[in-house]
């Protein structure tokens, strides 16, 4: 698989929920080859030492989009970028969702920023002949992503301010293919209900290319592998959820 | 730009540091023509799982890591990686680890003579394992004992990677030189710690980690310089090199070569950019070779 390191201009920015923004980058080589669930690793100069990983949200002929919230200094700096600014963009990285032809129905379950890989997942699931149901949850209506893409869309909020009151996992119908992305606690619940679901994990990440071993994912069968290389998409039952940190602190001081 | 390190000729002075380049098969995009040598991810005789996540934390101009020397063990290294190294046009040294001097020796004996293994970098400085590692690096007798154990089992080049967590690096440097080391690598990571203010506990599951990156560069240049002043064998400088100018600081401070580590995480082609930048610097200053670069190395 080809990997590209691009000096990519920012081309667009729009808000999709409270504190949540979609940023477009001109990155033709990545746009043409990225698969749902894969990510890019972004760096700014000057900026924090390490890159920041983002699932590719959408891809067109020449552009990719990512979705982000300011959770730390690095993401705050990325959010401050305006069209015309540039970011160093490394990708596509990781192993994405496997969406082979055959199954007729897919349900996409996303929590909060877990929308990130879902537009591409909807695209690829549809291309494989599946009917797509998208279940999206957040704490409140204001935090729900305004952009969803499914034949059926189901909303869930913790406070009941929009859609079903409760979690996205509880609100989701069964389907032949289940794809999930969101906080690790949500994915652990998804793994209980659908062990065969494919989930895109979030971990701390160093290099994104498989050498630093910083993004270790504890496996049910013992040992660790790398979210950036063998992941970030896993079969839900393969992950040892009890050993995966549920809370990621982004208090980066760089 | 070729250099000779303890009898081994390298085509360039910029090397890939252990733990930042995997087994050489992972890092994409690097223009390998620029790679003087590679030091493998640290290996023990037997496979190790490594530490639980979180394993890394970013800090001002640096990162903490506690990977715990996750690795496949000697047998897998011999079957899966060494045959590929044997075909490459740059040497690969294996970073070796043990819980006792005899285990270092046993691992050396197992790897000595395997095609693809060009030499050894003894790791007596890993801060992220419960036994071994750092313990051997801050006691001159233990450091010398490990070096001797390895030296006895191989005629290949033996480098020793020193820890910065000592009060006088010159003492350790002289001890391992006397025990038969061909070169020193200075330095490994500093032990550091960072606290998660949401969880009121360390950000790393291992509690502490090794600090690398530009944050440690001036400390590393000083320690590499102190080691170089203390011994006659070559010193390979390591610590926070991001650009050619950083590498040149180590070289002028008395190092014969450098290793680039954390920079590769950020920029997969960092080694080639550092290498080309050194060449451009020498050219622009009118030096015909690296050996004519002025050095600041008053002897002890």
Instruction: Assign residue B156 the CATH number of its domain.
Output: 3.20.20.70
Q: Do the beta carbons of residue B139 and residue B176 sit within 8 Å?
A: no
Query: Residue B193 above 60 pLDDT?
Result: yes
Predicted confidence at residue A148, as pLDDT, reads 87
For B4, other C-beta atoms within 10 Å of its C-beta total 12
- In the residue annotation, B126 being an active-site residue is answered as yes
SS3 A55: strand
Q: Collapse the DSSP code of A40 into the 3-class scheme (helix H, G, I; strand E, B; otherwise coil) and give the result.
A: strand
The DSSP bridge pattern shows strands A58-59 and A63-69 to be antiparallel
Same fold, A4-93 and A201-244: no
Chain B CB contacts of A43 under 8 Å are 266-267
Whether B72 is in a domain gets the answer yes
pLDDT band at A248 (very low <50, low <70, confident <90, very high): low
pLDDT at A123 over 70: yes
Fold of A201-244: Dihydroorotate dehydrogenase B (pyrk subunit); domain 3 (2.10.240)
Measured N-to-C along each axis, helices B169-178 and B140-151 cross at an angle, to the nearest 10 degrees, of: 30
The count of other CB atoms within 10 Å of the CB of residue A59 is 23
What is the Cα–Cα distance from A143 to A141, expressed in whole angstroms?
Answer: 5
pLDDT at A15 over 70: yes
What number is the average pLDDT over the span B12-21?
A: 96
Evaluate whether A106 touches A179 at the Cβ level (below 8 Å). yes
Is the model's pLDDT at A249 over the cut of 60? no
Q: What is the CATH number of domain A98-198?
A: 3.40.50.80
Tell me the pLDDT band of B300, cut-offs 50, 70 and 90.
Answer: low
Residues of A whose CB is below 8 A from B59? 253-254
Q: Decide if the complex's ipTM is over 0.95.
A: no
Fold that domain A4-93 belongs to in CATH = Elongation Factor Tu (Ef-tu); domain 3 (2.40.30)
Ranges B24-28, B142-146, B216-220: which has the least confidence: B24-28
The answer as to whether B298 is a domain residue is no
A47 interfaces chain B, CB cutoff of 8 Å: no
pLDDT at B12: 97
Q: Which of B49, B53, B58 has the CB atom closest to A254's CB atom?
A: B58
Q: Return d(Cα A131, Cα A243) in angstroms, integer.
A: 34
**Are B278 and B40 within 8 A, CB to CB?**
no
Judging contacts by C-beta atoms under 8 Å, the chain B residues touching residue A51 are: 265-266
Q: What is the pLDDT of residues B171-191, one digit of tens each?
A: 999 999 999 999 999 999 999
Whether residue B89 is contained in a domain is answered as: yes
Q: Is the pLDDT assigned to residue B245 strictly greater than 80?
A: yes
Classify residue A242 by its DSSP letter. G
Section A2-23 average pLDDT:
95
State how far the Cα of A217 lies from the Cα of A230, in Å rounded to an integer: 9
Which of B:18-57 have CB within 8 Å of A? Answer: 19-22, 26-29, 41, 49-57
Indicate whether B200 belongs to any domain.
yes
Model confidence pLDDT, tens digit, residues A169-205: 999 999 999 999 999 899 999 999 999 999 999 899 9
Mutate to test the interface with B, among A211, A223, A228, A232 (most CBs of B within 10 A): A211
How many beta-carbon contacts under 8 Å exist across A and B? 119
Alpha-carbon distance of A78 to A65, in angstroms, equals 13
Q: Is position B300 within any domain? A: no
Angstrom distance (rounded) from CA A34 to CA A36: 7
**Interfacial A residues in 79-98 facing B (CB < 8 Å):** 88, 90
**Confidence at A246, pLDDT banded by 50, 70, 90:** confident
pLDDT score, position B29 = 74
Average pLDDT for residues B22-26, to the nearest whole number? 89
d(CA A239, CA A192): 11
* Range of the structural domain that residue B57 is part of: 3-292
Chain centroid offset of residue B248 CA: 17
Looking at the structure of chain B, the number of domains it has is 1
Say what percent of chain A tops pLDDT 90.
Answer: 87
The domain segmentation of chain A, as residue ranges, is 4-93, 98-198, 201-244
Whether pLDDT at B129 is above 80: no
Give the dihedral sign, CA B3/B9/B13/B19. Answer: negative
Q: How many other C-beta atoms can be found within 10 angstroms of the C-beta atom of residue B102?
A: 12
C-alpha to C-alpha distances, A71 to A23, A76, A202, A248, A251, nearest whole angstrom: 15, 7, 13, 10, 8
Residue A251: per-residue pLDDT: 38
Instruction: Select the more confidently predicted residue: B300 or A17.
Output: A17
Cβ neighbours around B267 below 10 Å, total: 23
Inspect the interface and report whether the beta carbons of B265 and A3 lie closer than 8 Å.
Answer: no
- Cβ distance A167 to A188 under 8 Å? no
pLDDT grade, residue B27 (50/70/90)? confident
Partner A contacted by B200 (CB < 8 A):
no
Per residue in B48-90, pLDDT (tens digit) is: 999 999 999 999 999 999 999 999 999 999 999 999 999 999 9
Asked whether A109 and A169 are in contact (CB, 8 A), the reply is: yes
Nearest to B65 among A3, A214, A222 (CB): A214
Rounded mean pLDDT of B277-285? 98
Sign of the alpha-carbon dihedral angle for B259, B264, B269, B273:
negative
């Amino acid at each position: 698989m080809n990997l590209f390191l691009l000096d990519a201009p920012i081309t667009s920015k729009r808000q999709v929920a409270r504190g949540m923004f979609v940023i477009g980058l001109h990155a033709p080589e990545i746009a043409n080859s990225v698969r749902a669930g894969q990510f890019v690793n972004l760096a700014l100069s000057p900026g924090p030492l390490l890159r920041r990983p983002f699932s590719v949200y959408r891809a067109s002929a020449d552009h990719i989009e990512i979705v982000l919230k300011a959770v730390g200094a690095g993401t705050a700096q990325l959010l401050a970028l305006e069209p015309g600014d540039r970011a160093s963009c490394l990708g596509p990285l990781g192993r994405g969702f496997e969406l082979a032809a055959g199954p007729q129905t897919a349900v996409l379950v996303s929590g909060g920023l877990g929308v990130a890989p879902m537009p591409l997942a909807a695209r690829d699931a549809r291309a494989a002949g599946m009917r797509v149901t998208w279940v999206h949850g957040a704490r409140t209506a204001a935090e729900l992503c305004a952009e969803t893409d499914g034949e059926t869309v189901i909303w869930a909020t913790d406070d009941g301010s929009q859609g079903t009151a409760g979690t996205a996992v509880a609100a989701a119908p069964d389907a032949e293919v289940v794809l999930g992305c969101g906080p690790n606690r949500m994915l652990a619940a998804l793994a209980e209900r659908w062990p065969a679901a494919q989930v895109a994990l979030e971990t701390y990440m160093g290099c994104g290319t498989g050498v630093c071993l910083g993004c270790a994912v504890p496996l049910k069968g013992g040992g660790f592998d790398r979210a950036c290389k063998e992941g970030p998409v896993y079969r839900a039952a393969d992950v040892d959820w009890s050993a995966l940190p549920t809370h990621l602190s982004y208090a980066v001081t760089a | 730009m070729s250099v000779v390190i303890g009898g081994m000729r390298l085509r360039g002075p910029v090397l890939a540091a252990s733990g930042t380049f995997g087994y050489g098969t992972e890092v994409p995009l690097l223009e390998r023509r620029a790679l003087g040598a590679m030091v493998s991810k640290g290996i023990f005789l037997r496979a190790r799982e490594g530490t639980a996540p979180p394993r890394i934390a970013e800090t001002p101009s640096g990162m903490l890591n506690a990977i715990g020397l996750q690795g496949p063990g000697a047998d897998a290294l011999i079957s899966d990686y060494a045959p590929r190294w044997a075909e490459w046009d740059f040497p690969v040294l294996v970073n070796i680890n043990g819980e006792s001097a005899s285990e270092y020796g046993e691992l050396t004996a197992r790897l000595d003579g395997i095609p693809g293994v060009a030499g050894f970098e003894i790791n007596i400085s890993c801060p992220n394992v419960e036994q071994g590692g750092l313990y051997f690096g801050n006691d001159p007798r233990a450091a010398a004992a490990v070096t001797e154990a390895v030296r006895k089992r191989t005629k290949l080049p033996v480098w020793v990677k020193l820890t910065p967590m000592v009060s006088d690096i010159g003492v350790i440097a002289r001890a391992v030189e006397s025990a038969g080391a061909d070169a020193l690598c200075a330095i490994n990571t500093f032990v550091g710690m960072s606290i998660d203010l949401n969880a009121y506990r360390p950000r790393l599951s291992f509690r502490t980690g090794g600090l690398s990156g530009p944050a440690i560069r001036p400390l590393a240049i000083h320690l590499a310089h102190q080691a170089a002043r203390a011994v006659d064998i070559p010193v390979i400088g390591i610590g926070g090199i991001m650009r050619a100018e950083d590498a040149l600081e180590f070289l002028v401070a008395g190092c014969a070569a450098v290793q680039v580590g954390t920079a590769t995480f950020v920029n997969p082609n960092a080694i080639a950019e550092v290498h080309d930048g050194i060449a451009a610097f020498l050219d622009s200053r009118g030096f015909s070779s690296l050996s004519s670069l002025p050095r600041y190395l008053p002897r002890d």
